Chains A and B, each alone.
Chain A
Amino acid sequence: MARGIKDRVAILGMGCAHFGERWQDDADTLMVEAFGEAIADAGIETSQIDAAWLGVAFDAINIGPSGIPLSIALRLPNIGVTKVENYCASGTESFRGAVYAVASGAADIALAMGVEKLKDTGYGGLPVRSRGTTFDMVGVTGSAPGNFAQLAAAYSSKHGVSRDDLKLAMAHVSVKSHANGARNPKAHLRNSIDVDTVLGAPMVADPLGLYDCCGVSDGAACAIVTTPEIARALGKTDLVTVKAIQVASSNGWELQQAGGWDGSYFHTTRIAAAKAYEEAGVFRPREQISLMEVHDCFSITELVTMEDLFISQEGEGWKDVRGGFFDADGTIPCQIDGGLKCFGHPIGASGLRMIYENYLQLLGRAGERQRRQQPVLALSHNLGGSPIQNVSAVTIIGRADA
């Protein structure tokens, strides 16, 4: 494996817009909101940014092609601005671009922006779109809930978990995230819910009910990164550094029977997680990771991800969930900011929003959500596609001395 980039890049500043149904905002104004916070946090001028990456997923509505919309919105100084799209992992992709630019020495200071203006779609949920002329002839244009719901049947079947037991565990995931989101002023959904509400909700894609699905929102999040040396030179003393970023893309293996994939887990997440732990020097993730922000597009996704990140034993994740292991006051809190569940999922923004919460927690700036015990290593997991074919991104950031 490559040597990796552990501790070669520090986060200079981050910002996150208020996620929600931002009827009065365009993607531009959401980006400016996130950028304003990030650049103030970084304590630099726009003219000091050497390169920028923009993560956005949907073209048809939203912002249009190229990196130019970011360059115009922030009036960047004619630097290279690259737009990246990698399904719902686009936010982490933009972060990876900026981090790699700094790690390589090509840029001293780089910016990553993720944004999505979903609430111009005209209906709830993600815009229905083509997946290419070849795929459209032989593929199923299912909804996101329909694609992810299929994990449940396969998981139940493989591990002998009854539908009721699994539904209760899934409900716990959502109840926990809503309890967290209620304490986050930037979250879209800030209501607490109970298990009965989740179980009694209308079915969206069997067995996923309404509360098993994350919200749909507008939002933006932004990171400004540099080298630890430059960060210190700029006066930063409390540094959060990047320990690992790994992205794994499906190559069609899951889609072929010969591979042996059984539909109950994310093949790519396991690969990205294993590589990220190696890059970060994490050997016992269940003991070493302080907190996690994962891609909880659906409750079942979060549940199986606990196993794919090697935190829970395979087939045991649902028990850890129901035992409160991932609650805000649990051993490893997961979605302590409310997650996609309460922030909603403005596609390009989500990966950076996760890193934003981890960054705040590591610096002790998470307000009433702040973990009492100082977090050291924080993991974020950003996933795009469907269980059978996807892009999985795992990012680990931590205190510079960790």
Chain B
Amino acid sequence: MTETGILAFGAYIPRRRLQRAAIHAANKWFAPGLGGLAKGERAIANWDEDAVTMAVEAARDCLTGFDRTRVQSLVLASTTLPFADRLNAGIVKEALTLADTTRASDTGGSLRAGTSALLSALDSERTQLCIASDLRKARAASEGELTQGDGAAALLIGQGDLIARVIARHSVTVDFVDHFRSAGAAFDYGWESRWIRDEGYTRLLGNAIADALRQSGVSPETIDHAVIPVSVRGVAAGLARKLGLRAEAVVDPLQATVGDTGTAHPLLMLASALENAQPGQRILVAGFGQGADVILMETTSALMRLPERRGVRRHLAERQEDSNYQRFLFHRGLVEMERGMRAELDQKQPGSTLYRHRKAVLGLVGGRCTRTGTVQFPPSDISVNPNDRAIGTQEDYPLAEIRARIVTHTADSLSYSPDPPTYYGTIDFEGGGRLVTVFAEVTADDVAVGRPMRMVFRINAIDEQRDFIKYFWKAVPTSEGDQ
């Protein structure tokens, strides 16, 4: 019971999957050499998603069936956090309605930050949410644009009913600069890929894995799932051969379906491995970036008892093919489009107002009248119940995890939206509570009176004058398997 290990996992992959062929079709006049990468698809965050919103979704998935009051710490690893100085993990904490006594921190600095955060969590006795999330940023017609993907993964670390125990851990730190991005720069600068393959992946990462196995006395062929988050074709398989890992143990790097999600990728692949693992199987997890982290773990029978979650599998299945490369460029700020005067609305957010209403805004916490049971959003001093205008009887009533149904809807082509038309309408929550909200990730076929919906944490608006992001909750259609 005093052993710290993995208690649960969760994943988030954005719904839209940009077809690499569409990217290449637009850019091949300029970069014909990238044709070899123009296969499959990559996950792209929608305009209203960022590393924080994806982290929230992965964490919610991870916490499925888990008592949130038990979470003591939260760490968010990313190299693409929206705020340089405002605790991004603090926003995640509010969205998850975790206790104010939660310890929270952001970590980054390298694509290895995900596994490093995981190692730190494993060193602790606290029950800790370890989240990694990246919204990758690459120039148009770059290799990264084709090979990268957006996504997040979360692991719950702590003591108790472990789904995986840690056998060994090993880290190496060397200032190997395969790519870098200086503070404030928008894009990476990378060195020659053949050098990275030989000196970085094969030697640096390969040696780290070999050392981890040797030092722990774990024989390579006993590894059932090897998480080697390298998107370059053939590298993981080549490393496995060299290290003596079984070829079938190499975990799918999700290159054909998601792309390299950076900081999140080792954790996302680990989540995938845990989904496919049987009790008593061994998993190797590697992280790469100015050195390497290697973690060896073994699953337990508790894995079979973990409540059903979306995980990687359902996120992979819930995909929307997208060939609109121009829209992707616009959403990434890589092309300016004429947005019209309606986009000029000042989105200034008074800090004092947000602070007062942080539970309602960031946590979607409504009110429930302790006398009549009437649920409402937002909460108010005087209950909305017309038969009992009770004063001061509201208690917190979180709505984010409750299913809802559409009452009214429209598709608004007049309001400014980065992704028109804006679908929105009124929804009713099961058990009470009503909200007028935006519907995300929908098409005309997805909206109808009575349609079941669930809530997701998204960007509501961006104050471009002051560089502030305003978050709120939106509704998306439920899918098969949702509770």
Which of the segments B8-16, B40-48, B143-151, B348-356 contacts the partner chain? B348-356
For B76-119 the 0/1 string (1 means CB < 8 A from A) is: 00000000000000000000000000000000000000000000
Is B375 interfacial (CB-CB < 8 Å)? Answer: yes
B460 touches A137 (CB 8 A): yes
Contact B353 A262 (CB under 8 A): no
Contact (A137, B361) CB under 8 Å given A150-B409, A258-B374: yes
Known interface pairs A122-B341, A128-B342, A133-B353. Does A138 touch B410 (Cβ–Cβ under 8 Å)? no
Q: Is the CB of A150 within 8 A of B408?
A: yes
Question: Which residues, 336 to 390 on B, are CB-close (under 8 Å) to A?
Answer: 340-342, 344-347, 349-350, 353-354, 357, 360-361, 374-378, 380, 384-386
> Chain A's nearest CB lies how many Å from the CB of B452?
15
Q: Is B422 in contact with A146, judged by CB distance below 8 angstroms?
A: yes
The answer to whether B410 touches A133 (Cβ under 8 A) is: no
Once the chains bind, are B340 and A137 in contact (CB under 8 Å)?
no
- CA of A136 to CA of B436 in the docked complex: distance in angstroms? 12
Judge whether A252 is part of the interface by a CB distance below 8 angstroms.
yes
Distance between Cα atoms of A256 and B436 in the complex (Å):
10
Asked whether, in the complex, the Cβ of A206 is within 8 Å of the Cβ of B472, the reply is: no
**B410 and A150 form a contact (CB under 8 A):** yes
The verdict on A123 contacting B376 (CB below 8 Å), with A263-B407, A388-B426 known, is no
Residue A153 interfacial (CB < 8 Å):
yes
B173-181, B213-221, B413-421: which lies at the interface: B413-421
Please report which residues of chain A, range 149-166, place their CB below 8 angstroms from some CB of chain B when the two chains form the complex. 149-151, 153-154, 156-157
Residues of B with C-beta under 8 A to A367: none
CA distance A259 to B421 in the complex (A): 30
Q: Considering residues A136, A142, A256, which has the most beta carbons from chain B within 10 angstroms of its beta carbon? A: A256
Residue of A with least CB distance to B384:
A256
Q: Give chain A nearest CB distance to B176 CB in angstroms.
A: 45
* Alpha-carbon distance between A178 and B150 when the two chains are bound, in angstroms: 52
A255 at the B interface (CB under 8 A): yes
Given contacts A128-B342, A258-B384, contact A206 B353 (CB under 8 A): no
- State whether the Cβ of B411 lies closer than 8 Å to any Cβ in chain A: yes
Does B449 belong to the interface (CB within 8 Å)? yes
Complex Cα spacing A298 to B407, Å: 20
Task: Give the size category of B's interface with A.
Answer: 35 or more
Distance of B291 from chain A, by nearest CB (Å): 43
Closest A residue by C-beta to B447: A153
Could you tell me if A149 and B342 are in contact, using CB atoms closer than 8 angstroms?
no
- Given A140-B438, A257-B432: A203 in contact with B384 (beta carbons within 8 A): no
- Look across to chain A and name the residue whose beta carbon is closest to the beta carbon of B352: A133
Cα A390 to Cα B438 in complex, Å, equals 20
Cα distance, A323 to B1, chains bound together (Å): 77
In the complex, chain B residues whose CB is within 8 Å of the CB of A147: 410
Q: Are A133 and B342 in contact (CB under 8 A)?
A: no
Which of B386, B448, B472 is the one whose CB lies under 8 Å from A138? B472
Q: Once the chains are docked, how many angstroms separate the CA of A262 from the CA of B427?
A: 10
Provided the pairs A140-B438, A153-B410, A388-B436 are in contact, do residues A258 and B376 lie with their beta carbons within 8 angstroms? yes
Interface pair A204/B407, CB less than 8 Å apart: no
Known: A153-B409, A157-B449, A257-B429. A141 touches B345 (CB 8 A): yes
Closest chain-A Cβ to B132's Cβ sits at a distance in Å of: 28
Among candidates B346, B349, B415, residue contacting A143 with C-beta atoms closer than 8 Å? B415
CB of B444 within 8 Å of the partner chain: yes
> CA–CA, A245 to B378, complex, Å?
32
B425 within 8 A of A: yes
Judge if A205 is at the interface, Cβ distance under 8 Å. Answer: yes
Chain B neighbourhood of A137, CB < 8 A: 349, 353-354, 357, 360-361, 460, 470, 472
Q: Smallest distance from the beta carbon of B135 to chain A beta carbons, Å? A: 23
- On chain B, the residues within 8 Å of A251 by CB distance are 384
Q: Does A3 count as interface, using CB distance less than 8 angstroms? A: no
**SS class of chain B's interface: helix, strand, loop or mixed?**
mixed
Q: Are A146 and B408 in contact (CB under 8 A)?
A: no
Q: Is the CB of A204 within 8 A of B413?
A: yes
Q: Are B444 and A206 in contact (CB under 8 A)?
A: yes
B412 CB–A CB distance under 8 Å: yes
Residues of B with C-beta under 8 A to A203? 411, 413
Is B433 an interface residue when CB atoms closer than 8 A count as contact? Answer: yes
Answer whether residue B428 sits at the interface, using C-beta atoms and an 8 A cutoff. yes
Q: Is A139 among interface residues, defined by CB-CB distance under 8 A?
A: yes
A36 part of interface (Cβ distance < 8 Å)? no
- The verdict on B33 contacting chain A, using a C-beta distance below 8 Å, is no
Chain B residues, Cβ within 8 Å of A139: 436
Does chain A have a CB within 8 A of B450? yes
By the criterion CB–CB under 8 Å, are A149 and B437 in contact?
Answer: no
Interchain nearest-CB distance for A300 vs B (Å): 11
B339 CB to nearest chain A CB (Å): 12
Q: How far is the CA of A121 from the CA of B341 in the complex (A)?
A: 9
Separation of A263 and B427 alpha carbons in the complex (Å): 10
Q: Can you name the residue of chain A whose Cβ is closest to the Cβ of B411? A: A206
* B434 partner residues in chain A, CB cutoff 8 A: 255-257
A130 near B346 (CB under 8 angstroms)?
yes
A122, A206, A259: residue with the most chain B Cβ atoms closer than 10 Å = A206
User: Is B424 interfacial (CB-CB < 8 Å)?
Assistant: yes
Q: Which of B344, B411, B432 has the most CB of A within 10 A?
A: B411
Let me know if B414 and A204 touch, CB within 8 A.
yes
Contacts of B422 in A (CB 8 A): 140, 142, 146
In the complex, which residue of chain A has the Cβ closest to the Cβ of B345? A128
CA distance A143 to B415 in the complex (A): 5
A71 CB, min distance to chain B CBs, angstroms? 30
Most buried by A among B342, B353, B449: B449
- The reply to whether A123 and B412 form a contact with Cβ atoms under 8 Å apart is no
Would A154 and B345 count as touching, CB distance under 8 A? no
**Set of chain A residues within 8 Å of B353, measured between Cβ atoms:** 133-134, 137
Given pairs A128-B416, A137-B349, A206-B444, 11 additional interface contacts (CB within 8 A): A123-B342, A129-B345, A137-B360, A142-B422, A145-B412, A146-B415, A147-B410, A150-B408, A150-B426, A256-B434, A263-B407
Question: Chain A interface (Cβ within 8 Å of chain B)?
Answer: 121-123, 125, 128-130, 133-134, 136-143, 145-147, 149-151, 153-154, 156-157, 203-206, 208, 251-253, 255-259, 262-263, 387-388
**What are 27 A-B interface contacts by the 8 Å CB criterion?**
A129-B345, A130-B345, A134-B378, A136-B347, A137-B357, A137-B460, A140-B436, A140-B437, A142-B412, A142-B415, A146-B410, A146-B414, A150-B426, A151-B408, A154-B408, A156-B449, A203-B413, A205-B414, A205-B421, A206-B411, A253-B384, A256-B374, A256-B375, A256-B376, A258-B376, A263-B407, A388-B436
B→A interface (CB under 8 Å): 340-342, 344-347, 349-350, 353-354, 357, 360-361, 374-378, 380, 384-386, 407-416, 421-422, 424-426, 428-429, 432-434, 436-438, 444, 448-450, 460-461, 470, 472
The 4 closest A-B pairs by CB, nearest first: A146-B412, A150-B408, A263-B408, A149-B410
